[in-house]
Amino acid sequence: MDTELLRTFIEVSKTRHFGRAAENLYLTQSAVSFRIRQLEQQLGVSLFARHRNNIRLTASGERLLPYADAILHTLGRAKQDVALSPGFSQQLAIGAPPVFWELDFNDWLGHIYALAPGLAVRLETASREHLCRQLLERSLDLALLSEPTKIDEIALHPIGELVFELVSREPNVGNDQLAQMPHIHLDWGTSFEPQPARLQSLQKTPVLHSSSASMALHFLLGNGGAAYLPRRMVGPYLEQGRLHLVQEAQPLTRPLYLAYLEKSERRELIDELLSLPLGWLEEDLRSSLTGPSKD
């Protein structure tokens, strides 16, 4: 049986609404309806009684619910446990969008590795939508997200803020010059958009649109232009004079969350991990409040 059908069934049973279930699963409503029909056909029973503005589980649906949850739970644990080599007692799987791993999480990962003897750490890269699905499947223990999720089972623990600076290869760039410069756009997520009143001159087709911060940075260094890039990455280039802050441009911040299942079997280990320091995030946040030094 396709586990995606079971996962969709659980979400509809929780929300009692096909539209909200579709939103939480990052699917279309028609896809959710089709999956439920497929599951009902495979089982030969009706799982939901559909009335106008009222969806409820049938008796068969009520009986299926604990089995569906147990199947997904067991499969998720199996995916992790079967991959363990001798000498390791448990595996912690952490996922993030690609651009996250370009930043410096090395110290943090070192602290994680030291949390428990026999711990193996697996890092994965995926979109936010896929990471949330992996958390629900229990094939992932933690995910780094910069946008919250509406899925009730997934808890969000804020761990800091990422700071972005508007930088240029040319010194002393003001609003007039900025309007004439190529725009390099780093795709950090749908909710990370410059405020039009502040950066109206950047609201044009970018010369480069990238989900890679390092590629955007090196394009800027080689070809010029202006871009909002993570302070963590551009700091050394600002100190060397190879990049410069755009005049009167305020830094932008993005929240950073650790996402995990509320009912994870590794909750004790996760709680320890949530207390680990992410020092450079705290430094970036403090400096965003006081303001960076100008060129």
What is the full DSSP assignment across 203-254? Answer: -S--SEEES-HHHHHHHHHHH--EEEEEHHHHHHHHHHTSSEEPTTPPPEEE
Q: Are 59 and 105 within 8 A, CB to CB?
A: no
55 CA to centre of own chain = 31
User: What's residue 77's pLDDT?
Assistant: 67
* pLDDT grade for 179, boundaries at 50, 70 and 90: confident
Bridge partner residues of 261 (DSSP): 154
Task: Give the single-character DSSP code of 85.
Answer: P
**Would strands 226-230 and 154-168 be described as parallel, antiparallel, or unpaired?**
antiparallel
**Residue 71: what are its φ and ψ, rounded to 5°?**
-65, -45
Q: Are 260 and 142 within 8 A, CB to CB?
A: yes
Q: Are 72 and 7 within 8 A, CB to CB?
A: yes
Residue type at 265 in one-letter notation: E
Which token pair is 278?
Answer: 């992410």
Mean pLDDT, range 223-237, rounded to an integer: 90
Is the pLDDT at 167 greater than 50? The verdict is: yes
98 vs 246 pLDDT, higher one: 246
The reply to whether domains 81-158+256-279 and 161-254 share a CATH topology is yes
Q: Are 12 and 21 within 8 A, CB to CB?
A: yes
* pLDDT grade for 79, boundaries at 50, 70 and 90: low
Between the CA of residue 189 and those of 16, 17, 121, 124, 185, what are the distances in Å? 29, 27, 26, 18, 11
Please give the class, per CATH, of domain 3-66: mainly alpha
Which token pair is 227?
Answer: 């871009």
* pLDDT grade for 197, boundaries at 50, 70 and 90: very low
* pLDDT grade for 288, boundaries at 50, 70 and 90: very low
81 vs 84 pLDDT, higher one: 81
Task: Give the single-character DSSP code of 141.
Answer: S
Q: What is the pLDDT of residues 266-281, one digit of tens each?
A: 888 888 888 877 655 5
Is the pLDDT at 294 greater than 50? The verdict is: no
Q: Under CATH, which number does the domain 81-158+256-279 receive?
A: 3.40.190.10
* Dihedral angle computed from the Cα positions of residues 42, 48, 50 and 55, in that order, rounded to the nearest 10 degrees: -140
**Residue 229: what are its φ and ψ, rounded to 5°?**
-130, 155
Query: CA 186 to CA 140: how far, in whole Å?
Result: 26
Q: Which fold has domain 161-254?
A: D-Maltodextrin-Binding Protein; domain 2 (3.40.190)
Lowest mean pLDDT of 71-80, 140-149, 274-283, name the range.
Answer: 274-283
Which token pair is 224?
Answer: 């010029």
Q: What is the pLDDT of residues 111-138, one digit of tens each?
A: 787 777 778 888 888 878 888 888 887 8
Q: Write down the domain spans for the chain.
A: 3-66, 81-158+256-279, 161-254
User: What's residue 191's pLDDT?
Assistant: 54
